[in-house]
């Protein structure tokens, strides 16, 4: 007699989707959120976008009955201690050629978006460098996986996240998640967001579910930053980003999501 097939039941967890600004972290956030929604027993998922003191507040909270997904770009004072205390089960960190991120920031945030008055070249440099600094701080940790969506594409990046999380799902389910968040699909979502009145959006800008904004997915391909940035901008940025050149090769060789961690309870010494 063959034993009955049993389906793994996954415990409630907290995942963080961090990343350099304009690196694909929004894609990773939506993918991780959807994977957790589908993971048996299909628990509800709560989510937040937090930075600074707000990030410290949410990352240290005791979990309830829902999965919890946090999106962020830069480190807060208590973020690394929260990882060490196992208040976070795993981090998906989105990286990209920082010069491509810079070119995207210049187009999106400096020249076009409604909040452009708050951004300039130095602001963009600072935010990207802040993300790279956080990447350096978590590089090599076994509970952190680095993903380069623009280099590797949707399918390979999703497979890397699924492998990291260790969730067992039928191939057609994983394919459905990928199809839900292709570049073309997310570009159409961004177009629909542009049609929404400000009062329907978070801070008048972001979709409250996906955190996407109008024009969020513009190219969806590798950028020719050499033609989009000036020679002076490239020289300044290259010097600023030089200390982080090895980040993509400095991650853990076999990162794994910690399903056994219990956020809200300190790990045994």
**Residue 222 has what pLDDT?**
62
Say what the pTM is: 0.84
What is the total residue count of the chain? 269
Q: Identify the pLDDT of residue 113.
A: 54
Q: What is the pLDDT of residues 178-232, one digit of tens each?
A: 988 876 666 666 556 555 665 555 554 566 556 555 555 555 456 688 888 999 9
- Which pLDDT score is estimated for 116? 55
pLDDT attached to residue 3: 47
d(CA 134, CA 73): 8
**Buried b vs exposed e over 98-108: b needs ≥16 C-beta within 10 Å?**
bbbbbbbbbbb
Q: Confirm whether 269 is domain-assigned.
A: no
Q: What's the total number of domains in the chain? A: 1
Other CB atoms within 10 Å distance of the CB of residue 249:
8
Report yes or no on 256 lying in a domain: no
CATH assignment at residue 228: 3.40.50.300
Decide if 2 is inside a domain: no
pLDDT tens for 43-75 read: 999 988 899 999 999 999 988 889 999 999 999
- Which is more confidently placed, 114 or 35? 35
Q: Give a yes or no: residue 1 inside a domain.
A: no
Burial class (CB in 10 A: 0-12, 13-18, 19+), 11: middle
> What's the 3-state SS for 157-175?
HHHHHHHHHCCCCCHHHHH
Its domain, for residue 223, covers: 14-249
- Tell me if residue 129 falls in helix, strand or coil: helix
């Amino acid at each position: 007699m063959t034993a009955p097939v049993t389906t793994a039941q996954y415990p409630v967890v907290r995942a963080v989707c961090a990343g350099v600004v304009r690196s694909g972290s929004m894609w990773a956030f939506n993918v991780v959120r959807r994977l957790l929604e589908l993971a048996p027993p299909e628990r509800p998922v709560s989510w937040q976008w937090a930075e600074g003191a707000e990030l410290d507040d949410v990352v240290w909270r005791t979990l309830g009955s829902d999965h919890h997904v946090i999106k962020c770009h830069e480190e807060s004072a208590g973020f690394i201690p929260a990882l060490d205390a196992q208040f976070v089960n795993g981090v998906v960190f989105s990286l990209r050629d920082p010069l491509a991120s810079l070119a995207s920031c210049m187009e999106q945030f400096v020249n076009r978006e409604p909040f452009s008055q708050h951004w300039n070249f130095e602001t963009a440099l600072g935010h990207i460098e802040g993300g790279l600094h956080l990447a350096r701080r978590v590089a090599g940790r076994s509970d952190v996986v680095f993903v380069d969506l623009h280099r590797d594409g949707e399918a390979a990046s999703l497979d890397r996240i699924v492998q990291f999380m260790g969730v067992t799902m039928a191939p057609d389910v994983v394919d459905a998640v990928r199809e839900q968040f292709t570049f073309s699909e997310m570009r159409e979502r961004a177009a629909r967001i542009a049609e929404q009145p400000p009062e329907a959006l978070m801070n008048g800008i972001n979709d409250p579910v996906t955190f996407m904004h109008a024009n969020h997915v513009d190219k969806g391909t590798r950028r020719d930053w050499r033609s989009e940035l000036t020679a002076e901008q490239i020289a300044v940025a290259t010097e600023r980003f030089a200390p982080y050149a090895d980040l993509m090769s400095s991650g853990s060789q076999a990162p794994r999501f910690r399903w056994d961690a219990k956020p809200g309870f300190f790990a045994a010494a």
